[in-house]
Structure 1
Amino acid sequence: MLLLRTVAPCLLLSFLGQQVSLCSGARSADKQTGKAQRSDNNGAASGRGKFSTRDKMQCTWSATVVGDAVKLPVRCENLEARIKGGVTDLQCEYNAKPATCPGYLSDPRGFWKQVARAFKRLQSKVCRDERALVRAGMCKRAPKDAHFKLDISTSVVAAQSGGPEPAPPRPPRPTLPTTTGNGTGPTSCTKRADHHKTAVEYCSSSWASVCSFFLSMLQSEDC
């Protein structure tokens, strides 16, 4: 009886110690899992940045997770071009599956820093050249779909015309009538019929042709 009273507390303490150890280990594992999940879920959500190009375009981008893919909408604007003329706005979207790159999961902050530098290197190719990929340096050996590629169907370029207003077109010059060799005016052949009528009135029908001939010689305006 005395032995039972001595052993029972020891067994109880041992059992309680095992339960505490199991609970502590489970909590630690849950914390690690939660941390990994938060890192995975927030990796793309925290991807955002801005850059500028040599032609004074100010650009911003922000990542959005869609399934196993990541979409990168990009928007650029140039306020000076709204006054002086030129390209004022750019909009487009880049797509990739960066999860195929190990660095994206292990170091998401470093991954997005490298993406930001890659955008700066594109310069005038941003939203225009679908062959120019946005590559993170840590993903050089990753599959091609790990790099962001432009969806050319989403590219929109807006331009503002600038400078002086174009001069209105000049009205066409009036067409001058054709003149005769002595510059007296347009040629008219209607007076020949008048000569024949006059000749019929003042001459007999047999002499009408001769009279008409002489009348035409006397009047210099005839054709």
Structure 2
Amino acid sequence: MKTIALLTLKVKLDQNNPNLRETRQSIWDDPIKFTTKNKDKCTMILTGQGENMKLRLSCEGSKRSYWCEYVGKPYTCSAFNKNPRHYFVQIMWILRKLPNACQGPREIKPNMCRKATDDSRMIFSAGPYLRQPQRPQRLSAHTRPNVTVKALVKTTRASEKVKTTAQSQTTAPPTESTSKRMAKQYCWRSLNGVCSFVIGLFRN
């Protein structure tokens, strides 16, 4: 009787042990599978049960295959310890809405752990789709047309000013030559300069 009582007590304790419940859910032995928005078939494999837990995504589509990894400490969330598989199912719900499962958020915190500390997040750690800051050259490329237009406007205005100045300079000499010619015809040679000046005044 004593042995039976001890066995019964052990079974009850095992049922309340979160670590054993976690094992029965086969979260590490039974991968989570899903399909992305672009119909890529993905498998979520989990490794590690200690300090850091690793989540590896492997996806395969009709024209491509890719992978990426997340690491984190989800055990710092009490809700995870009660239902660890559902933690990763909620992550799967986020990733399956994307065309590419490896281009999701850099940090993922399931809704069930929204009140837990940030340590419970899964953070993007490796993969071919690492995010990079936007290059400044793209911005300068967009601003180049405006700069070019302004430069063309300035050049056009400058050329118009040069043409106007050139026209005024080319029209001036005929007036002077006419004044000088008339002065030579109607004035003494010694007074050509004065006559030319006076004739020029009247013509203007």
Normalising by structure 1, we get a TM-score of 0.48
Q: Provide closer, same or farther for how the CA distance between residues 27 and 135 of structure 1 changes in structure 2, counting only shifts above 3 A.
A: same
Aligned residue for 1:27, secondary structure, equals: helix
For structure 2, the 5+ residue unaligned runs are 130-204
CA contact (8 A) 2:77 2:120 kept: yes
CA contact (8 A) 1:49 1:62 kept: yes
Q: Provide closer, same or farther for how the CA distance between residues 72 and 109 of structure 1 changes in structure 2, counting only shifts above 3 A.
A: closer
1:78 to 48, 52, 61: 61
Within the alignment, does 1:34 sit opposite 2:14 as a pair?
A: yes
Within the alignment, does 1:133 sit opposite 2:107 as a pair?
A: yes
Q: Provide closer, same or farther for how the CA distance between residues 144 and 125 of structure 1 changes in structure 2, counting only shifts above 3 A.
A: farther
CA contact (8 A) 1:128 1:155 kept: no
5 Å matches for 1:71-150? 71-79=54-62, 81=63, 88-121=64-97, 123-124=98-99, 126-128=101-103, 131-150=105-124
CA contact (8 A) 1:60 1:75 kept: yes
Give the drift of 1:133: 2.4
Q: Provide closer, same or farther for how the CA distance between residues 140 and 125 of structure 1 changes in structure 2, counting only shifts above 3 A.
A: farther
Q: Which digits, 9 at most, give the CA deviation of each residue in 1:41-81, with x for residues without a partner?
A: 455425632222233322211112242322111111222x2
* Paired letter, 1:126: A
Aligned residue for 2:86, secondary structure, equals: helix
Distance 2:56 2:42 in 1: 10
Aligned residue for 1:142, secondary structure, equals: coil
* Paired letter, 1:132: R
Q: Which digits, 9 at most, give the CA deviation of each residue in 1:3-35, with x for residues without a partner?
A: xxxxxxxxxxxxxxxxx3x54443233213334
Distance 1:115 1:50 in 2: 12
Q: Provide closer, same or farther for how the CA distance between residues 77 and 63 of structure 1 changes in structure 2, counting only shifts above 3 A.
A: same
Distance 1:75 1:97 in 2: 21
5 Å matches for 1:164-179? none
RMSD: 2.6
CA contact (8 A) 2:36 2:101 kept: no
Normalising by structure 2, we get a TM-score of 0.52
Distance 1:69 1:40 in 2: 16
Q: Which residue of 1 aligns with 2:31?
A: 48
Aligned residue for 1:127, secondary structure, equals: helix
* Paired letter, 2:127: S
Aligned residue for 2:102, secondary structure, equals: coil
Aligned residue for 1:118, secondary structure, equals: helix
CA contact (8 A) 1:39 1:105 kept: no
Distance 2:53 2:30 in 1: 10
Give the paired residue count: 126
For structure 1, the 5+ residue unaligned runs are 1-19, 82-87, 158-223
CA contact (8 A) 1:63 1:70 kept: yes
CA contact (8 A) 1:52 1:59 kept: yes
